[in-house]
Every structure is written in C-alpha cells, then in structure tokens.
Structure 1
Amino acid sequence: MKILVCIKQVPDMESRFKVNSSGDWFSDADLAFRINEYDEYAVEQAVQLREQLGDSSELTVLSIGPDRVQEAIKKALAMGCDRGVHIQDPDVHKKDPWQVASIIAAYAKGKNFDIIFTGFQSQDRGSAQVGVTVAELLGHACATTLVGFEYADGAVKAKRELEGGVKGVVRLKVPALVTCQLGLNIPRYPTLPNIMKAKKKEIEAIGVADVLTEQPLSVTASFYPPAKKGGGIVLEGDVADLSDRLISILKDKTSVLR
C-alpha cells in the first residue's frame, strides 16, 4: 500500500505577527515555525497505518513551501514516515486553496496512492478546502473531520465529528482521502534514535513549475491588521456621582453619532 500525508508549516500561534513590506502576508523575520497542528494528527494516523501494514506499505510526507519547510518534513520523518517530498515554492502563501490543491493533486496523480491524509484545516488560513479539493481533483472518495480511523480489507472506516458534537461513521473504499481533526489521536514525540534515522531518509526536492506545468492565475491580496480603536474610560468615585457622569458621557457619545 502507498500512503501519502500532506503537511503545512505554519507560524507558531504565540508569535507576534507583523505585516510584511509588500502588504500581502505577514513578515516571517522573527517568527518561529512548526507543523500545522491538524497535520500532526494526520502524520500520526498515517504512521499508525504504516505500522499496522508493515513492510507491505510505504509512507511519503509532502510539503509545499520555501527551504524552511524541510524542518517540518524532517520531523514527520522522525515520527515514522519513510521518505519526504519538498515541492519548492517560496510564494505558496500567495496561492489560494484551489491552487495549493492543484499542486498536490498534480504530484499525486499517477503515483497510485491508496490513502491520502491531510489536516482538517491550516491554522494560518483556516479554509478547510485543500484536502477535499485534492480528493475531487483525483476522483478519490473523501471523509472530513476524522476523530476515528480503521483500515481493513481495502476499506476505511471513518468516524467523523459533525455539527453539535454528533459522531457519524462512514466507510470508504480505497483510494480515499481523509482530513484529520483534534481527538483522532495523540501525536508521538520523535525519539532521539528516530531523529538520527530521519537524517538519512530521502527528501526529494521538486520545483513547483516541474509539478504544475500550467501555472494557475495569480491572486492579488492585501493583508493588514485591524484598525486601532480608542481606549476605554475607567470611572472611579461614589456610585451616585458615577451614574451622573456615565449618563453625561453617553449623551455626548450619542450626539456625536447623530
């Protein structure tokens, strides 16, 4: 069985974000980066399936982006993936979900992956569209927001998280794509021996132009922080005086709005 897991490197959400000089994304100068949280659940589930199937399977981890995404790929390799694929694209942040999915699908087409794992959504964009679009482009069965996964006899049994906390179970024949959600598993920490082994594993670097021969339309976007608002007013003193002052302030604000 051939398994593919797609991951994205995103900024640590505790970072302090600043708009870049071109105004189309955030500046990554002082940011720390990590694997997208939902993609870690995807990697863990893919590794568990790889362990279940043994030597009859191969697990590939794929990521799109600049050179720094190789650190995310190396972590996935240390978690148990067999080989890595880095699609080199320093401008991936300028692409919309359809364009990103088109790159993944173009790479995967013809390689006969039986199961593809992705995260439910990315923490920086949050569109939740890439995984399902890849499935559509490849013509694969698809189940989203997985919180349970089983594989046997060429079929996937997927437990999905639906609206209101309801759990739904679907069965998919391979080839299939699933998107992974919080609650599916607990991602493992790479051990030191596995980190050392990962250094010897192959990471294939491919230019995005070599994968997607027909370049999609460019997307022009602007990115800016919300406008700053005035500060609040703290009133102190006796309750009787405060009520009169509050009424006076509200009258002033109302007259300005008129």
Structure 2
Amino acid sequence: MNILVCIKQVPDMESRFKVNGTGDWYDEADLAYMMNEYDEYAVEQAVQLKEQLGNQPEITVLSIGADRVGEALKKALAMGCDKAVQVQDNDSARKDPWQIANIIAAYAGDKNFDVIFTGMQSQDRGSAQVGVTVAELLGHNCASTLVGFEYADGVVTAKRELEGGVKSVVKVPVPALVTCQLGLNVPRYPTLPNIMKAKKKELQLVPVASLLKEEAATGTEKLYPPVKSGGGIVLEGDLGDVADRLLGILKEKTTVMK
C-alpha cells in the first residue's frame, strides 16, 4: 500500500496578527509557525494505518510553501512518515484552493497512492475545499470530516461528522481520499529518537512551476481585521427592575436595527 499525507504549515493561532501593507493577507513577519492542527490528525491516522498493516506501507508527506515548511515536514517524519516532499513556493499563501489542489493532484497523479489523508481544513483560510477537490481531480473516492477510520480488505470504513452532531458511516473502496476532523485520534508526540531518525529521512524538493498549470479561479481583494466589539452591560439590582431594564434595552436595539 502507498499512502500520501498532505499537510500545511500555518501561523500559531496565539500570534498577534496584522494586515500586511498590500491589504490582502496578514503580515508574516515575527509570526511563529506550526503544523495545521487538522493535519496532525491526518498524519497520526496514516501512521496508525501503517502500523496496522505491519509497517509495510510507505507514507509520503507533502507540503507546499517556502523553506520554513521544512519544520512541519520534519515533525511529520518524526511522527512516523517515511519520506517528505516540499513543493517549493514562496507565494503559496496567495494561491487559491483550486491551484493548491491542482499542485497536489499533479504530484500524486502517477504515484498510485491507495489512500490520501488531508486535514478537513486549514486554520488560516478554512476553505475545506482542497482535499475534496484533489479527490475529484484524481478520480478517487472521497469521504470528508472523518471522526472514525477503519481499513480492511481494500475498503475504508469512515465515520463522518455532519452538522448538528449527527454521525454517518460510509464504506469507501481504495483508492480513496479522506479529510480528517478534530477528535479522529490523539496525535502522538515525536520522541527524541524519532526526531533524530527524521533528520536522516529523505526530503525531496520539487519546484512549484513543474506542477502548477492552472490559473487562479478566485483571489483575495482585501483583508480586514475583526471589528472590535464594545463592552458588555452588567445589570444589577432587584430582579423585577433588572427585567424591566433588560426589556427596554432589547426594544431599543430592535428599533435601531429596523
């Protein structure tokens, strides 16, 4: 079996974000970066599948971006992936999901991957479009938002999380692509020995120009920081008086909204 995991390096969500000078993305200076949280579940599930099958499958982990994505790739290697591929692209943040999916599909097209794992979405853009678009481009079966995964006899049994907390179970023959939701598993921490082993594993560099043949379908015109909300109102006093004041405030705001 041949397995591919697609990961993205994103800014640490605890970072202080500022809109950049051109106004179409955030300023990347002084930001700390990490592997996208959803992708950690994808890596872990791929490694668990490899362990289930007696460590026979080979896991390739792929990421698109500047040289700094190497840190995320090294973490995936330390978690148990076998080799890494960095698609070199200093301008990956400005590519839309259609272009990103085409890059991945162009790389994977002749590699005969049986199962492809991706995160459900990225923490920065949150489009949730890349994984399912890759499946469509490759002609693979697809199941999204997985919170449960089983594999046997060439079939993936996927438990999916739907809106409203509803769960559905589908069976997907390989080749298949699945997108991983939070709670699918518990990602392992790379141990020091595995971190040292990761340094000796293969890292392939692929220029993005050799894979990308598609123009952008969409673009970001302007990025705006969230509007700062005002402070809350604390109502104190007798319960009856508080209720009357609250009713008055609600009536006033309803009138303003009309």
Q: TM-score, normalised by structure 2?
A: 0.88
Q: Displacement, 1:80?
A: 0.1
| Local SS of the residue matching 1:54 | coil
| Local SS of the residue matching 1:56 | coil
- Alpha-carbon distance in structure 2 between the residues aligned to 1:225 and 1:181: 27
Query: Which residue identity lines up with residue 72 of structure 1 in the other structure?
Result: A
Q: Displacement, 1:21?
A: 1.7
1:38/1:121 contact within 8 Å kept: yes
Give yes or no for the alignment of 1:221 onto 2:221.
yes
Structure 1 residues 94 and 56, CA gap change in structure 2 (3 angstroms): same
Cα distance per residue 1:80-130 (max 9 Å; x no partner): 000000011111111111111111111111110000000011111111111
List runs of 5+ in structure 1 lacking aligned partners. 237-248
* 1:128 alignment partner in structure 2: 128
- Alpha-carbon distance in structure 2 between the residues aligned to 1:229 and 1:181: 30
Query: Which residue identity lines up with residue 111 of structure 2 in the other structure?
Result: K
How do 1:121-200 residues align onto structure 2 when only pairs under 5 Å count? 121-200=121-200
* 1:100 alignment partner in structure 2: 100
- Alpha-carbon distance in structure 2 between the residues aligned to 1:214 and 1:232: 48
- Alpha-carbon distance in structure 2 between the residues aligned to 1:108 and 1:31: 31
2:146/2:184 contact within 8 Å kept: yes
- Alpha-carbon distance in structure 2 between the residues aligned to 1:217 and 1:133: 13
How do 1:1-258 residues align onto structure 2 when only pairs under 5 Å count? 1-216=1-216, 219-227=219-227
Structure 1 residues 218 and 172, CA gap change in structure 2 (3 angstroms): closer
Structure 1 residues 168 and 88, CA gap change in structure 2 (3 angstroms): same
Q: Name the % identity.
A: 75
List runs of 5+ in structure 2 lacking aligned partners. 237-248
* 2:242 alignment partner in structure 1: none
Q: Displacement, 1:235?
A: 10
Query: Which residue identity lines up with residue 163 of structure 2 in the other structure?
Result: E
Structure 1 residues 148 and 126, CA gap change in structure 2 (3 angstroms): same
Give me the CA root mean square deviation.
Answer: 3.0
Query: Which residue identity lines up with residue 52 of structure 2 in the other structure?
Result: Q
| Local SS of the residue matching 2:60 | strand
1:209/1:215 contact within 8 Å kept: no
- Alpha-carbon distance in structure 2 between the residues aligned to 1:159 and 1:221: 37
| Local SS of the residue matching 1:71 | helix
Provide the aligned length of Structure 1 versus Structure 2. Answer: 258
Q: Displacement, 1:221?
A: 2.1
Structure 1 residues 257 and 187, CA gap change in structure 2 (3 angstroms): closer
Query: Which residue identity lines up with residue 203 of structure 1 in the other structure?
Result: L
Rg: which structure is higher? Answer: 1
Q: TM-score, normalised by structure 1?
A: 0.88
1:155/1:174 contact within 8 Å kept: yes
Query: Which residue identity lines up with residue 11 of structure 1 in the other structure?
Result: P
Q: Displacement, 1:27?
A: 1.0
- Alpha-carbon distance in structure 2 between the residues aligned to 1:176 and 1:233: 52
- Divergent runs of 4+, >6 A: 229-236
- Alpha-carbon distance in structure 1 between the residues aligned to 2:257 and 2:40: 49
1:140/1:175 contact within 8 Å kept: yes
Q: Displacement, 1:141?
A: 0.5
2:6/2:117 contact within 8 Å kept: yes
1:121/1:129 contact within 8 Å kept: yes
Structure 1 residues 231 and 153, CA gap change in structure 2 (3 angstroms): closer
